[in-house]
Amino acid sequence: MAAIDPLTAGAVFIATAATDAVYVMFTSAVIARKRIPAANWSAIWYMLSSYAVISYTDNPFYVAFAAIGSWAGAYVSLTYLHRPPGGPPVGAAPE
């Protein structure tokens, strides 16, 4: 079993947290039917997820850090994007 490098574990955590935050932004842009922002968020999403996958393929224990980072990214981004029920989606044109 390979040892876990704290720097790599931290990088995987940050990459997956950022990946999930970007995924939430991508979904929000899609819901708001904003093509350019959706395409930009999609490109960033794949770049970040590729880093995470490449980083933890050498040691399967990094998947745990990826999962924790993924959870944190989704939680923080949804907290940031919280809207009252019935409110417009993020990115929607103001009325």
Q: What is the pLDDT along the chain (95 residues), one digit of tens a residue?
A: 578 889 888 888 888 888 888 888 888 888 887 888 888 888 888 777 777 677 666 767 777 777 787 777 777 776 776 666 666 665 555 55
| Pair of tokens at residue 52 | 């995470």
Q: Whole-angstrom Cα distance, residue 69 to residue 79?
A: 15
Q: Whole-angstrom Cα distance, residue 18 to residue 45?
A: 8
Of the chain, the end-to-end C-alpha distance in Å amounts to 58
| Pair of tokens at residue 13 | 């955590």
